[in-house]
Amino acid sequence: MAFTKLTRNQVIATLIAVMVGSAVAHYDDLLPYRWQTYKSADQKFQIDFPGSPTKEELNVPASGGGSITIHGLNTQPSRHVTFACSWMARNSNVLSDDEILDSARDGSLKKMQGSLSSETRIVVQGHFGREVRARVPGNAVVVSRFILVDDRLYLLMIADTYGQEPTKDVKRFFDSFHTA
């Protein structure tokens, strides 16, 4: 088998082709996010999303009977990252704040089939909450904030299926959350 010597121009052309191919394959990951502010229809909160979020509503059975409506917003600015904000009414007459936050954390981990990596008690604009990091199947990482505000429980979440925490984006997303 004979090997030919590549010219300098052939090496440069090959390197450019590899770089362009890589950029095309990872096009979504290389673009900067286009952040925009979402303001809730009831004027109770606002948050910045990287892109226009889609809205969802889900009715789930309540532990004491009846159902709870979970309102959600989410966007997926690249193939491997998802941003979400959801909220629901809370019944503060039944459970303490810690019990509500524990239940929300445990329910979220169970639904994702995740394992808790870390948990920190937080205060956001004077409201109690928890910041939770978890690993889920497939080596994905999820960073969540559960925040109790008056008659609502909010969940802010970023999931990255590459298993890397997008630190800069987590901070921007979480810090943009403001209540009225």
pLDDT of residue 32: 65
Q: What angle is formed at CA 159 by the lines to CA 156 and CA 161, rounded to 5 degrees?
A: 175
Closest CA to 134 of 123, 145, 125: 145
Instruction: Tell whether 9 is covered by a domain.
Output: no
Instruction: Tell whether 27 is covered by a domain.
Output: no
Tell me which amino acid residue 19 is. M
> pLDDT tens-digit profile of 10-32?
666 655 656 555 544 444 444 56
Q: Identify the band that residue 119 occupies on the pLDDT scale cut at 50, 70 and 90.
A: very high
Provide the number of structural domains found in the chain: 1
Instruction: Tell whether 61 is covered by a domain.
Output: yes
CATH of the domain at 68: 3.40.1000.10
pLDDT of residue 27: 45
Instruction: Tell whether 40 is covered by a domain.
Output: yes
Query: Could you give the CA distance from residue 151 to residue 104 in angstroms, rounded to a whole number?
Result: 15
Q: Which range among 26-35, 75-84, 147-156, 162-171 shows the weakest confidence by mean pLDDT?
A: 26-35
pLDDT of residue 116: 95
Instruction: Tell whether 170 is covered by a domain.
Output: yes
Instruction: Say whether pLDDT at 45 is over 60.
Output: yes
Where in the sequence is the domain holding 166, given as residue range(s)? Answer: 34-179
Instruction: Tell whether 125 is covered by a domain.
Output: yes
Contact in structure between 72 and 82 (CB atoms under 8 Å): no
Instruction: Tell whether 113 is covered by a domain.
Output: yes
The pTM of the full predicted model, rounded to 2 decimals, is 0.80
CA 143 to chain centre: 6
Instruction: Tell whether 128 is covered by a domain.
Output: yes
